[in-house]
Structure 1
Amino acid sequence: MNDINKALSLLLSKLEDWGEHLILMLPNLFVALILLIVTFYVARVIRDGLDKVIVRFSHSPALNNLISTLIYLALLMVGFFFVLSVLQLDKVVVSILAGVGIIGLALGFAFQDIAANFISGVIIAVQKPFGVGDMIETNDYFGIIERVTLRTIDIRKPTGELVKLPNKMVFENPVTNFSVNGIRRIDLDVGVSYGEDLERVQQIVIEALQDVKNRVKTRDIEAMYDAFGDSSINFKARFWVTYSRQVDYVSAKSDAIIKIKKAFDQNDIMIPFPIRTLDFGIKGGEKLNEHLESLQAQLKNGRGLGEN
């Protein structure tokens, strides 16, 4: 019975101490509550203001959202630490900071790839080497960019497939941006017979390509010979076209082939077929007609033997 009374008296004493401490802390609690409300309000106002300002300097929605969110969380963290200081919980602040550091270190090791993709996405968003709608080639993938996030880049291939490439792969490997200049050069391989007048062929090709689809008129058309082939003299017809989609390039190249073929037909210029030599197993010095006559005689003799 005495033990129970002692326990009750101890409990009442503790409750009384806590009550007195609570009464003494009431002003601090009131100030802390006001400070917490003000922190949320100010952080929200600043975030909304930053959203309007950042848009003027950056056109990446993902990056803009990241910056405003980080600033918003930082303001909330500062206000939270002030609240703990008002409540005289400084030791708790130190413990929280230590815990955050340990947790951050553990998460850094656990999510290295995610962190690398995130950081790569931030750098890409800042440098802006390409944007939505650009035609690029990277990591053996070719297509138009549909979406850029802080984790992946979505590429739509010309055949319709959607590829989601991690930002780390794009950041660490070469990227060819075909849309950055708005124009692209077409190199078309052509061959003509060895008997043709090469200078005349050059002039005919240049005239034929004057009205190719999407051709950039300010750039010269070039027809440059580059090789003696097995059955033809080969040259490259080079010209520039406006480029925003892959169909611009493909249609212009197709149109150029049609115009060159028509020009060659009109001017009796021959595009030679490859020459092939057939080996009948004839020994050197023996004529083909004599060899055929010998084979025919053998066949006749064999037929006669079969009849007897």
Structure 2
Amino acid sequence: MIHDLQEVLVTYWQQFLFVLPKLLLALVLLSVAIFISNRVSQVLGTRLRSRSHDPLLADFLTGISRWVLWLLGLLLAMEVIGLSGVVTGMLSAAGLSAFVVGFAFKDIAENFLAGVILAFNRPFHLNDTVQIRDQLGHVETLNLRTTVIRTFDGKHVFLPNSIVLKEPLINFTRNGDLRQDFLITINYGPEGNYEQVRDQVLAFVRMQPDIHLDEQRAPYVVLEKSTDTTADMRLYFWSSSEEYRRGALETKSELMQKVKNLLLERGYATPNVAQ
């Protein structure tokens, strides 16, 4: 038994020494392939970012190119070792493999395909402010599997690409402007009227520097409820939304306070300005 074991070990050792040069060559080729794939992806990414206006698409294509080159290097290394039959079997059984792998890694494959679709037909760009489900924030990057959103309180949310593709997505900054509104409740007394207050508010709003005044986006007021001495009216206005929190939310907050101060200065008792 010991003699048989020695013969088996010697046979394995001889086979290992026979395969060792090919194994070393395969490792060298694999290392070179990884190095080349990293360099090529870096050069490709730099050129795509310099020529493209879409950094997200450039980063996504760079990531795909790196993985493709790595896979080609791995297949070449397997060919050198002598696993050509395995490589041929993998390629010839691509349909069955795709089915098995797709079933086993359904979520990964689904998110990858969703990422490809989002890369070429995407409802957002880098730094756009979007809301998906209850997540609101800036788009930071699009990976092979996830879309990264940074919320206004500094949290990074990694959303699977399939969710981003399937769920309703609200983009607050795509057009560069946004219509907002707030409610003004006023007690103008027996000597005042709604039209007078409306004209005063609109004249004041039109003088604000951050409010759009063109014909299609001019501010306007809608009366929602009125009595002989009170009125509930809603002010609608357009402002820039390129930076959502500062360009839109802060503009609305400042305008609400300015309108309230205006009404107090005009002698209207305790005006209420709310969402």
- Normalising by structure 1, we get a TM-score of 0.62
Contact 2:172 2:244 in 1 (8 A): no
- The amino acid that maps onto 1:72 is L
CA–CA distance in 2 between the matches of 1:248 and 1:186?
12
Residue of structure 1 aligned with 2:224, choices 218, 223, 226:
226
**CA displacement, residues 194-250 of structure 1 (integer Å, 9 cap, x when unaligned):** 743111111110122234362234342211212348994211111111121313323
Show the counterpart of 2:164.
170
Relative distance call for 1:198 and 1:145 in structure 2 (3 A) is same
1:203 matches 2:202: no
1:72 matches 2:66: no
**Could you say what secondary structure the match of 1:192 adopts?**
strand
Relative distance call for 1:122 and 1:95 in structure 2 (3 A) is closer
Aligned identity (percent) is 27
Relative distance call for 1:95 and 1:234 in structure 2 (3 A) is same
**Could you say what secondary structure the match of 2:179 adopts?**
strand
- The amino acid that maps onto 1:177 is N
CA–CA distance in 2 between the matches of 1:253 and 1:70?
46
My pick for the range that moved more, 163-172 or 148-157, is: 148-157
Unaligned runs of 5+ in 2: 1-24
In the TM superposition, what is the alpha-carbon distance from 1:267 to its structure 2 partner? Answer: 2.4
CA–CA distance in 1 between the matches of 2:227 and 2:101?
62
**Could you say what secondary structure the match of 1:209 adopts?**
helix
Contact 1:191 1:271 in 2 (8 A): no
Say how many residue pairs are matched.
245
Larger Cα-atom Rg: 1
My pick for the range that moved more, 261-270 or 51-60, is: 51-60
Show the counterpart of 1:281.
none
Relative distance call for 1:80 and 1:191 in structure 2 (3 A) is same
Show the counterpart of 2:251.
252
Contact 2:193 2:229 in 1 (8 A): no
CA–CA distance in 1 between the matches of 2:148 and 2:86?
44
In the TM superposition, what is the alpha-carbon distance from 1:157 to its structure 2 partner? Answer: 2.3
Show the counterpart of 1:5.
none
Structure having the larger proportion of residues in strand: 2
Residue of structure 1 aligned with 2:60, choices 60, 63, 70:
63
- Write the mapping of 1:255-274 to structure 2, written as runs, cut at 5 A: 255-270=254-269
CA–CA distance in 1 between the matches of 2:95 and 2:228?
71
1:152 matches 2:146: yes
1:131 matches 2:129: no
CA–CA distance in 1 between the matches of 2:134 and 2:227?
31
CA RMSD of aligned residues (A): 4.1
**Could you say what secondary structure the match of 2:251 adopts?**
helix
- Write the mapping of 1:281-296 to structure 2, written as runs, cut at 5 A: none
CA–CA distance in 2 between the matches of 1:200 and 1:50?
63
Show the counterpart of 1:291.
none
Contact 2:137 2:151 in 1 (8 A): yes
- The amino acid that maps onto 2:202 is I
CA–CA distance in 1 between the matches of 2:75 and 2:133?
43
Structure number with higher relative contact order (C-alpha < 8 Å, ≥ 6 residues apart): 2
CA–CA distance in 2 between the matches of 1:113 and 1:90?
30
- The amino acid that maps onto 1:242 is S
Contact 1:62 1:150 in 2 (8 A): no
Unaligned runs of 5+ in 1: 1-32, 274-308
Contact 1:47 1:71 in 2 (8 A): no
- Write the mapping of 1:107-146 to structure 2, written as runs, cut at 5 A: 107-146=101-140
**Could you say what secondary structure the match of 2:206 adopts?**
coil
CA–CA distance in 2 between the matches of 1:229 and 1:122?
57
Contact 1:225 1:233 in 2 (8 A): yes
- The amino acid that maps onto 1:241 is S
